[in-house]
With several copies, the nearest count.
Chain A
Amino acid sequence: MTDGSPPDLSVDLAPRNPRELRLANPVIAASGCFGYGEEYAGVIDVQRLGAFVSKGITPERRSGNAMPRIIETPAGMLNAIGLQNPGISGFIRKYPPMWERWTVPAIVNISAETIEDYAAMAARLDEQPGVAGIEINVSCPNIARGGYCFGWDPGMSADVTRAVRDVTTLPLIVKLSPGATDIVAVAEAVEAAGADAISLINTLVGMVIDVQHRRPLLANLTGGLSGPAIKPIAVRMVYQVAAAVKVPVIGMGGIMGLRDALEFFLAGASAIQIGTAIFVDPGLPIRLIDELQAWLEHEGFASIGQIVGIANEGFRRGDSAALTAWETAGA
């Protein structure tokens, strides 16, 4: 099976884009959980990562939400950071010049409330040295549509994707929101609109009540739920979406170790992102690279690509293996 050389972990996350998004390995640090990369420099060897995604950047500087912004939940956490960031201009001055001297690909996560703002940010990133790709966070309210979240609607998600695609040739990842009832419809729409890859899942909206003070605990009232608690939902969505689209899928949601990571690959993810786990186990992403390689070798696979989607028979056959009604509805 293998010719003695170690299994190939590399992956191109933008196969239909000439600019490519080739990663040495499929382990990516997730947006909002890795700052701008430098924060973890003293703790792990950041350069060994497949890639990392920046904190979400917005058109203008944002100071974020009031405190408290995070609260632990059973096997998970809620966050309502409120996209604290220096804004696209401040960001461009500071980080891409630093990243240019790094070897690890840096992906910029962008958030906005209008289609024009998404496009304007993307245009500024297009020829920016140090930027390897863009991840569009569509889990934001669309001001023009009364605040209905872009990511909940296939049409709105596609509109954002198209607008960004029109102004940049950079590899483009669209990050889906699990709040969408029909996640496959959104995935298909953004694929058709020019996404080079699809990442999922972003957080689910949750709330914790502070019983003592009789009000929601987070200053923002609600926050995004992440961590192991949401993993089964994430794996299910990756399984569905990977079967439906041709572009690579990047899976995330609650990955805490090798077995979790393998669940996502087997479900159809070409790469994975690690978010919340980095907070509790910063060494995990680097360890995973080694563990993935060892596991592939042990199981006789020549590359990571060989295990992508093999838990889904339809995926393996190349036909779209939609889940039946009872399967999707849960039962």
Chain B
Amino acid sequence: MEMGHESGSSREFEGQILAIDPIMGDSLLLTVSAPPAIVQRLRPGQFFNIRCRFPSAYDPLLRRPFSVYRVDVERSALIFLVRPYGRGSAWLADRVVGDRVGLLGPLGNAFTFSPRTQRVLMVAGGVGVAPLVMLSDEAVAKGMDVVFIMGAADESGLLASSELAGSVEFVAATDDGSRGHRGLAPDMTADYVPWADQIFACGPEPMYRTLRAVVDPLRVNRKPPVQISVERGMACGLGACLGCVVETRHGMVASCVKGPVFDLDEVIL
């Protein structure tokens, strides 16, 4: 492997918050400026490790990974979906337009379409919706048919279907039945498994176990294949610390580099 002896192509930079918009109840969409080369080349499923504190205060210490929800090529900006949950995300949600945030990325691999895919099924749980929005945009742009299943605790946690292209079929599920089907997102997938060429899922880990239980009996020769984005506590985001590993058929691999997207059949959850 040849390494740059000159100053390497830095993936660490500061972005400026250009816009903050409410979404999905108490969550926010943060539009953050980024170099054009990064915005243009970004692939759906990739993420950034974001510093969620003032530089001189060391608590909370670590960066937080956030998937890209969408890119805004015209403004040369990345859009993140932030749910104020714990200390880091709450800090981020507390920013105002004009503030600067430290970004490291793009990191990780991406969701990939197979050459002949025409019909795609998205399965999103909560803020897991983020990378699937960008992926849906891309699928629609490629002329694919998209069914987008989304689950949330209640109505307020659901994505507004207007966030997706008009051609996308949006299926909602809520734990309390306040909108759409009562139940979990994976429960809604059964009808679409035979239809789909590929399935893409993003949500909490228990969702994947349920998803596997639902789709496996319906799949033939592991088809349609299922790509999932796993969520692990992270430190470096670059494959150096081995704190974020996922157990796969080929051993423990860093989910920040070999993931976060994995084939459901490859990972041991």
Instruction: Give residues in A with beta carbon < 8 Å to B.
Output: 32-35, 38-47, 55, 63-64, 67-72, 74-77, 79, 81, 84, 98, 101-103, 227-228, 256, 276, 278-280, 282-283
Please measure, in the bound complex, the distance between the C-alpha atom of A175 and the C-alpha atom of B175, giving whole angstroms: 50
Are B59's CB and A75's CB within 8 A?
yes
What separation, in Å, do the CA atoms of A67 and B243 have in the docked complex?
A: 8
Q: List 8 A-B contacts (CB under 8 A).
A: A33-B236, A35-B239, A39-B238, A42-B9, A70-B241, A84-B245, A101-B2, A279-B240
Q: Are A81 and B241 in contact (CB under 8 A)?
A: yes
CB atoms of B59 and A67 under 8 A apart: no
Asked if residues A81 and B3 are in contact (CB atoms below 8 Å), the reply is no
Tell me whether B233 and A68 are in contact (CB under 8 A). yes
A81–B62 Cα distance when bound, in Å, is 17
A77 in complex: contacting residue of B3, B62, B237, CB < 8 Å: B62
- Shortest Cβ distance from residue A69 to the other chain B in the assembled complex, whole angstroms: 5
Q: How far is the CA of A278 from the CA of B49 in the complex (A)?
A: 13
Please state if A33 and B240 are interface contacts (CB–CB under 8 Å): yes
Q: Do B232 and A79 have beta carbons less than 8 Å apart?
A: no
| Interface 1/0 per residue, B225-269 and A, CB below 8 Å | 000000011111111111111110001100001000000000000
B238 with A43: CB separation less than 8 A: yes
Q: Is the CB of B1 closer than 8 A to any CB of chain A?
A: yes
Q: Please, how many angstroms separate the alpha-carbon atoms of A41 and B6 in the complex?
A: 11
Q: How far is the CB of A94 from chain B (nearest CB, A)?
A: 10
Quick check: A45 and B7 within 8 Å, CB to CB?
Answer: yes
Knowing A39-B236, A79-B241, A84-B242 are in contact, say whether A45-B1 is a contact too (CB < 8 A): no
- List the A residue with the shortest CB-CB distance to B256: A39
Name the A residues within 8 Å of B247 (CB-CB). 67
The residue from A39, A40, A47, A69 contacting B243, defined by CB atoms under 8 A apart: A69
CA distance A33 to B239 in the complex (A): 10
Contact B238 A81 (CB under 8 A): no
Task: State whether A34 touches B59 (Cβ < 8 A).
Answer: no
Name B235's contact: one of A44, A45, A279 (CB within 8 Å). A279
B8 and A43 within 8 A (CB): yes
- Complex: A13 Cα to B120 Cα, angstroms: 59
Q: In the complex, how many angstroms separate the beta carbon of A39 from the nearest chain B beta carbon?
A: 4
Distance in angstroms between the alpha carbons of A276 and B7 in the assembled complex: 22
* B241 touching A64, Cβ below 8 Å: no
Residues from chain B with a CB closer than 8 A to the CB of A41 are 1, 3-4, 8
Other-chain contact of A46, B8, B11, B12 (Cβ < 8 Å): B8
Residues of B within 8 A of A55 (CB): 242
Task: Report yes or no: B12 in contact with A63, Cβ–Cβ below 8 A.
Answer: no
- The interface residues of chain A lying within 8 Å CB-to-CB of B236 are 33, 39, 278-279, 282
CB distance from A277 to the nearest CB of B (A): 9
Known: A41-B8, A279-B63. A256 touches B242 (CB 8 A): no
Contacts of A67 in B (CB 8 A): 232, 245-247
Residue of A nearest to B11 (CB): A43
Q: Cβ of B70 < 8 Å from any Cβ of A?
A: no
Contact mask for chain B residues 202-243; partner A; CB cutoff 8 A; 1 contact, 0 none: 000000000000000000000000000000111111111111
